[in-house]
């Protein structure tokens, strides 16, 4: 059963710890040797100053910071700010998280995810609140845990830890998929509508997309979208759709037992023949041979 901790300044690497703070001016934590665990901080209000290694940023509402392990760190209420309200989680990351965090790396294990759109703030808050509740989760046959939510919760292993990491993963994906990394092209250098179309394709590659339907989704004419899309990506919208469908199909071939016809239909191809031809063009093998090679290698 999870245990409760009032304070753990240097959490052990195997622990996953979730908490929520609303700290006044003067609060701060310094770890000269860093922490053996990773640390995520999501600011709800006020401001903090978070430093690790050679990177230091002032964080405010809608900013997320993820700090890697083993590097000196210091965080505190920002100078001139009256308080800092934030969620925090000590954890060991899942391997897949590196892909989402990569664009936000600032060196020395510091990842800064700034300016998450306000429309997502409540959902991220809910995910982290669920992480705190899940840290106290036990199977229904056991006595129900307490609900003293403000106290940080520590979980070592088992189902509760996996539930916590699932909730943290949701918050991390929402933030990293929606914020703008430093150095990313600003409006005027890129086009938000093209990025929106790419997101729509990635979210549901098997949908019956067309240039016209994608253009409607971003309030453009088909010809205008085609022009902007080619200028931004070097390909047409339907080329991007076909590539997304083929990659989606490859994932289904890798992790399911669906037959090739089912994979083709689920990925948006009108026939197995067209699917096989498009797949071979991208991967160099027909779908059946691709799956057979994967199984032979496993």
Which pTM does this prediction carry? 0.62
Q: What is the mean pLDDT of residues 72-76?
A: 94
Adjacent-strand bridge partners of 188: none
The band of 145, judged by pLDDT with boundaries at 50, 70 and 90, is very low
pLDDT attached to residue 43: 97
Of all residues in the chain, what percent are helix, strand and coil, respectively (each to 5)? Answer: 40, 20, 35
Q: What is the pLDDT of residues 115-133, one digit of tens each?
A: 999 999 999 999 999 998 8
**Residue 2, pLDDT above cutoff 50:** no
> Which position has the higher pLDDT, 151 or 257?
257
Question: What is the percent of the chain where pLDDT is above 70?
Answer: 86
Confidence of residue 54 (pLDDT cuts 50, 70, 90): confident
Cβ neighbors of 33 (< 8 A, separation 6 or more) are 70, 72
Structural domain boundaries in the chain: 3-178, 192-297
Confidence of residue 255 (pLDDT cuts 50, 70, 90): confident
Position 147 scores a pLDDT of: 44
Residue 177 has pLDDT above 80, yes or no: yes
Lowest-confidence region among 71-75, 156-160, 215-219, 273-277: 156-160
Q: State the pLDDT at residue 185.
A: 47
Model confidence band, residue 23 (pLDDT cutoffs 50, 70, 90): very high
Residue 41: pLDDT above 80? yes
- Per-residue pLDDT, averaged over 155-167, amounts to 83
Arithmetic mean of pLDDT, 64-91: 94
What are the residues whose beta carbons fall under 8 Å from the beta carbon of 36, sequence distance 6 or more? 10, 11, 12, 13, 69, 70
Residues 36 and 15 sit within 8 Å (Cβ to Cβ): no
Query: Quick one: pLDDT at residue 10?
Result: 64
Let me know: does 185 contact 44? Beta carbons within 8 Å.
Answer: no
Choose the most confident range, by mean pLDDT, from 18-27, 139-148, 150-159. Answer: 18-27
Question: Where residue 181 falls among pLDDT bands split at 50, 70, 90?
Answer: low
Q: Which fold has domain 192-297?
A: Arc Repressor Mutant, subunit A (1.10.10)
Q: Are 63 and 120 in contact (CB under 8 A)?
A: no
pLDDT at 11: 65
Note the pLDDT tens digit of each residue in 200-226. 888 788 889 999 999 999 899 999 999
Higher pLDDT, residue 192 or 262 = 262
- What CATH number labels 3-178? 2.60.120.280
How far apart, in whole angstroms, are the C-alpha atoms of residue 298 and residue 288? 16
CA distance 242 to 126: 36
Query: To the nearest whole number, what is the mean pLDDT of the chain?
Result: 84
């Amino acid at each position: 059963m999870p245990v409760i901790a009032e304070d753990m300044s240097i959490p052990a690497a195997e622990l996953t710890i979730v908490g929520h703070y609303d700290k006044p001016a003067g609060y701060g934590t310094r770890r000269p040797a860093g922490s053996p665990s990773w640390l995520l901080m999501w600011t709800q209000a006020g401001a903090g100053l978070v430093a690790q290694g050679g990177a230091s940023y002032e964080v405010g509402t809608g900013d997320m910071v993820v700090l890697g392990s083993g590097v000196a760190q210091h965080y505190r209420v920002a100078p001139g700010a009256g308080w800092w309200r934030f969620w925090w989680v000590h954890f060991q990351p899942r391997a897949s998280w590196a892909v989402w965090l990569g664009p936000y790396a600032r060196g020395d294990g510091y990842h800064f995810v700034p300016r998450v759109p306000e429309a997502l703030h409540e959902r991220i808050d809910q995910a982290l609140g669920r992480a705190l509740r899940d840290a106290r989760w036990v199977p229904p046959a056991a006595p129900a845990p307490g609900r003293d939510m403000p106290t940080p919760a520590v979980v070592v292993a088992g189902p509760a830890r996996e539930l916590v990491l699932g909730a943290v993963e949701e918050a991390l994906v929402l933030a990293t998929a929606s914020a703008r990394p430093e150095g990313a092209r600003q409006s005027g250098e890129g086009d938000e509508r093209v990025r929106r179309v790419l997101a729509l394709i990635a979210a549901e590659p098997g949908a019956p997309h067309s240039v016209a339907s994608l253009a409607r989704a971003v309030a453009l004419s088909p010809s205008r979208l085609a022009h902007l899309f080619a200028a931004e990506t070097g390909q047409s919208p339907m080329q991007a759709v076909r590539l997304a469908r083929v990659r989606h199909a490859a994932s289904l071939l890798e992790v399911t037992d669906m037959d090739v016809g089912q994979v083709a239909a689920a990925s948006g191809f009108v026939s197995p023949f067209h699917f096989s031809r498009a797949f071979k063009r991208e991967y160099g093998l027909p779908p059946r041979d691709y799956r057979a090679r994967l199984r032979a290698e496993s």
